[in-house]
Chains A and B, each alone.
Chain A
Amino acid sequence: MKVRLKCLLLTIAIIGMSTTVLWAEYADVIINERAEQEDMRPVIFPHWFHRIRYQCSACHVDLGFKMKAGGNGITMDRIIGGEFCGACHNGEIAWSTENCDLCHSGKAKLESGIRGSHETAGPGIF
């Protein structure tokens, strides 16, 4: 095999594999202030899923979610009362709170916070 062709294929191989080592999905939020203390899995909130369906302001203005992981004081009582996630997760717009496993879906001992940051991907193409 010609050396140039080998180099080209090797480059493609490296690029191909580097795109698969992403960890979690960019902007996933782990909510575990209380969950594991209450014997539930941590909650994983996927931004990507929700932003396909709602603009930012639906949650961050109308529902009052502060843009700060851990800054909202979310509890199941408040959700069942129709606040925060409970504005939609009420069995009418989205699945209701009886489906514990669908939100409480994280691995044990995850730390609260947003997954993303400038470390998640290399520089873009100008």
Chain B
Amino acid sequence: MRTVLFACLIASAVIALAAGPWLPLSGDGLHDPENPGIALLQQPQEALSVLAGDTAGNKVDWVRALRDNVISPRAHVADGDLPEVLESEVLMTNTSDTPYVVFPHKAHTEWMSCEVCHEELFRSEVGANDISMGHILDGEHCGRCHGAVAFPLTECNRCHSVFRDKIPAHLVEQLTPGDR
């Protein structure tokens, strides 16, 4: 009896893993399964299972999906130029006891133009933004997207990624005399 139960558990897990983490729309808790229109909507499984995987959020690494050229989202509804991709990285050192934060402009500008963040969410001058985890958890600054559409705030190390004893050479010039 125990062996049978155990085998059932394993089998259900294998089926669940094979099906992927994306629920069908009719069972996602939001869509009304009685709605006749639901049959015409694309299922997340169909669209997302072919993209680079991740461990959080949609379980999709959206930056890699773009770089892999698996998707090529248009920049505008009408005709228009692609946004300029900016390579610069910003080091943030006021991070209490956690590793420093490095903000990559590249991954962000591959997905969107400057105006999405500047100047409303973020002022462009260094040090002009009162960024804190409190504000971010409240949905301000980085938290407008991270925790909503971009990787969630459980992924501390993806932003807090620079250890004080291993600062990459190209970021050293951004240190100020007060930094540890």
Contacts and interface: CB of A to CB of B under 8 A. Distances in A.
Interface of A: 1, 6, 9-10, 12-17, 19-20, 22-28, 30, 41, 44, 46-49, 51-63, 67, 87-88, 93, 99-102, 105-108, 110, 114-118, 120-126
Interface of B: 3, 6, 9-10, 12-14, 16-17, 19-23, 25, 28-32, 35-38, 40-42, 44, 47-48, 54-60, 62, 71, 73-78, 80, 83, 111-113, 115-116, 137, 144-145, 147-149, 151-158
A23 B78 CA distance: 34
B41 A105 contact: yes
B153 A44 contact: no
B55 A125 contact: yes
B48 A48 contact: yes
Contacts of A1: 3
Contact of A19 (B16, B42, B148): B16
B153 A106 contact: no
B113 A27 contact: no
B65 to A, nearest CB: 8
Contacts, number: 193
Contacts of B137: 118
Contacts of B20: 19
A18 B19 CA distance: 13
Contacts of B37: 99-102, 105
Q: Is the interface of B mostly helix, strand, loop or mixed?
A: loop
B10 A12 contact: yes
Nearest to B17: A16
A124 B21 contact: no
Residue of B3, B31, B147, B156 contacting most chain A CB atoms (<10 Å): B31
Contact of B42 (A49, A88, A101): A49
A54 B74 contact: yes
A93 to B, nearest CB: 7
A120 B57 contact: yes
